[in-house]
């Protein structure tokens, strides 16, 4: 666990008055930080042991609704409490907020004190443990793409989300000139996160007006997911401090490129990359081939964990660098999976399916489960594809809608075995609810198309 503040250091900082507020946060189903702001004295004296939250928080949607159909929590059972157990290995300052530190919490059952199985952090820990029992550890990196807008969230909301003007007037892919104009937002993002203990690599302009990318150095899977979650939160807060909105919605305009979150993955043993075999083609070991075979074979099963909303599926369009096929390729950005770093110790697989709205704990847990299955069953990897994969009729498709991905999730015996029946049933309900909410909505598109002419 990387943190740049021990509990003792926090106590000292509280005593000296340097820190007066501690945020105790857990990660919800949507990948957001939720929790409470503690007076720092109370936290270091008592609440560091545990605090509590309502158990609807792991059975809600982006709007904080209380949908029916969840076995774990309901009006019938009275919406009781969960324990939020601070993981003291994750204490870090939040330098963009005054005198504030934070800690991540695990969610435990109020009575048994056992981990709640559908807590995203618990789900990832479970798969890491399974991988560890095969003798391996996982290193992961998740790229964060997002858009910056001229106006703030509040101004945009008051305007009915109509006046969405990106911060830049043109495609800013790798642009130094345009990104210099955005340094009042991006520089504090890099520096504050670095000071919070996140191994920030770089930021760059992305391939659309107002689109940004933040790269964080790869780390153990759980650290990587923690980093991603904290960074995404910080991007929104720091942009807000500067009067701008930062959006991780994967597709905010039909004619604009969407935002992704590519996930780089490699397995290690005793500090050595087990994906690397210098004798083999591309430097790709047998273990790597099996892991990739599992990733590819089960991609339809876990697509929901990479694309959890109706909007997520609007990103999967031809010719936009967002993949539509479950195939792999060598350094080809049109395939769902790309082998990077060929012939070197840095050889790894990048999954390009996930959108910027993914919850990194769920995405990584699902992909680890698929890779583990590939290794356990010694699955065979198909040959790489090449050329424009969008036009490859033989290549299998990623589920193209939330409805389709909900069915592949519901019917996945592999995921039910790997993650638990109760967990998959829980997230299937979340997926259904998202679709039900959308189906109840009358969209602007329908009105404009049919109001006069239907
Ligand atoms: P690009 O030039 O496409 O940005 P990079 O070499 O910077 O590619 O790597 C992209 C991401 O992959 C970075 O976040 C990096 O930390 C991560 N990465 C590099 N090596 C590994 C590895 N062995 N396992 C997992 N992730 C890795």
Buried b (16+ CB within 10 A) or exposed e, 213-227: bbbbebbbbbbbbbb
Axis crossing angle, helix 421-439 with helix 299-306, rounded to the nearest 10 = 60
333 CB less than 6 Å from ligand 1? no
Question: In this predicted structure, what is the pLDDT of residue 397?
Answer: 85
Q: Cα–Cα distance between 293 and 427 in angstroms, integer? A: 25
Residue nearest atom 20 of ligand 1, based on CA coordinates: 346
Question: In this predicted structure, what is the pLDDT of residue 1?
Answer: 40
Q: Please report the sign of the dihedral spanned by the C-alpha atoms of residue 154, residue 157, residue 159, residue 162.
A: positive
Alpha-carbon dihedral 175, 177, 181, 185, rounded to 10 degrees: 40
Question: In this predicted structure, what is the pLDDT of residue 2?
Answer: 45
Q: What is the pTM of this model?
A: 0.96
Residue nearest atom 24 of ligand 1, based on CA coordinates: 266
Question: In this predicted structure, what is the pLDDT of residue 114?
Answer: 97
141 CB less than 6 Å from ligand 1? yes
Q: Who's near 123: CB < 8 A, 6+ residues apart?
A: 117, 361, 362, 365, 419, 423
414 CB less than 6 Å from ligand 1? no
CATH 3.10.20.70 correct for 7-114: yes
Q: Where are the domains of the chain?
A: 7-114, 127-445
- Whether 277 contacts 283, CB under 8 Å: yes
Q: Cα–Cα distance between 183 and 197 in angstroms, integer? A: 21
261 CB less than 6 Å from ligand 1? no
Q: Cα–Cα distance between 431 and 233 in angstroms, integer? A: 23
264 CB less than 6 Å from ligand 1? yes
Mutate to test the pocket of ligand 1, among 206, 340, 364 (most ligand atoms within 8 A of CB): 340
Q: Cα–Cα distance between 377 and 92 in angstroms, integer? A: 40
Q: How far is the CA of 218 from the centre of ligand 1 (A)?
A: 7
Residue nearest atom 8 of ligand 1, based on CA coordinates: 340
217 CB less than 6 Å from ligand 1? yes
Question: In this predicted structure, what is the pLDDT of residue 393?
Answer: 66
243 CB less than 6 Å from ligand 1? no
Q: Which CATH class is domain 127-445?
A: alpha beta
Give the E-state strand segments of 285-366 in sequence order: 328-330, 337-340, 348-351
348 CB less than 6 Å from ligand 1? yes
| pLDDT in 10s for each residue of the chain, 454 residues | 445 899 999 999 999 999 999 999 999 999 999 999 999 999 999 999 999 999 999 999 999 999 999 998 877 777 789 999 999 999 999 999 999 999 999 999 999 999 999 999 999 999 999 999 999 999 999 999 999 999 999 999 999 999 899 999 999 999 999 999 999 999 999 999 999 999 999 999 999 999 999 999 999 999 999 999 999 999 999 999 999 999 999 999 999 999 999 999 999 999 999 999 999 999 999 999 999 999 999 999 999 999 999 999 999 876 666 677 889 999 677 789 999 999 999 999 999 999 999 999 999 999 999 999 999 999 999 999 877 776 666 778 889 999 999 999 999 999 999 999 999 999 999 999 999 999 999 999 999 999 999 9
Q: How far is the CA of 117 from the centre of ligand 1 (A)?
A: 30
């Amino acid at each position: 666990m990387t943190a740049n503040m021990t509990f003792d250091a926090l106590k000292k900082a509280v005593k000296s008055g340097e820190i007066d507020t501690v945020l105790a946060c857990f990660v919800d189903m949507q990948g957001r930080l939720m929790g409470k702001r503690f007076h720092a004295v109370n936290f270091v004296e008592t609440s560091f042991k545990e605090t509590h939250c309502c158990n609807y928080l792991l059975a809600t949607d982006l709007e904080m609704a209380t949908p029916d159909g969840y076995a774990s929590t309901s009006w019938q059972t009275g919406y009781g409490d969960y324990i939020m157990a601070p993981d003291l290995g994750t204490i870090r300052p939040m330098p963009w907020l005054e005198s504030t530190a934070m800690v991540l919490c695990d969610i435990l059952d109020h009575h048994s004190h056992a981990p709640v199985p559908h807590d995203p952090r618990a789900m990832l820990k479970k798969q890491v443990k399974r991988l560890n029992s095969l003798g391996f550890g996982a290193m992961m990196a998740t790229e964060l793409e997002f858009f910056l807008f001229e106006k703030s969230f509040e101004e945009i909301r008051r305007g009915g989300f109509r006046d969405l003007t990106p911060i830049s007037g043109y495609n800013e892919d790798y642009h130094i000139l345009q990104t210099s104009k955005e340094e009042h937002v991006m520089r504090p993002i890099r520096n504050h996160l670095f000071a919070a203990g996140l191994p920030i690599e770089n930021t760059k302009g992305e391939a659309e007006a107002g689109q940004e990318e933040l790269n964080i150095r790869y780390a153990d899977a759980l650290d990587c997911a923690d980093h991603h979650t904290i960074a995404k939160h910080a991007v929104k807060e720091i942009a807000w401090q500067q009067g701008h909105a930062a959006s991780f919605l994967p597709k905010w305009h039909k004619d604009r490129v969407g935002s992704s979150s590519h996930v780089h993955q490699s397995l290690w043993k005793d500090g050595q990359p087990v994906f690397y075999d210098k004798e083999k083609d591309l430097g790709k070991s047998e273990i790597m081939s099996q892991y990739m075979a599992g990733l590819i074979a089960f991609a339809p099963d876990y697509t929901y964990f990479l694309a959890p909303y109706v909007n997520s599926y609007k990103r999967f369009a031809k010719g936009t660098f967002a993949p539509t096929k479950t195939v792999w390729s060598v350094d080809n950005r049109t395939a769902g999976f790309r082998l990077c770093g060929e012939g070197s110790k840095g050889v790894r697989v990048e999954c390009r399916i996930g959108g910027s709205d993914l919850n990194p704990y769920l995405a990584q847990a699902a992909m680890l489960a698929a890779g583990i299955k590939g290794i356990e069953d010694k699955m065979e990897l198909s040959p790489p594809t090449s050329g424009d994969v969008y036009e490859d009729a033989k290549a299998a498709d990623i589920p193209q809608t939330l409805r389709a991905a909900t069915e592949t999730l519901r019917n996945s015996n592999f995921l039910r075995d790997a993650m638990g029946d109760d967990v998959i049933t829980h997230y299937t309900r979340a997926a259904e609810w998202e679709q039900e909410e959308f189906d109840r909505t009358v969209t602007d598109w329908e009105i404009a198309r049919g109001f006069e002419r239907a």
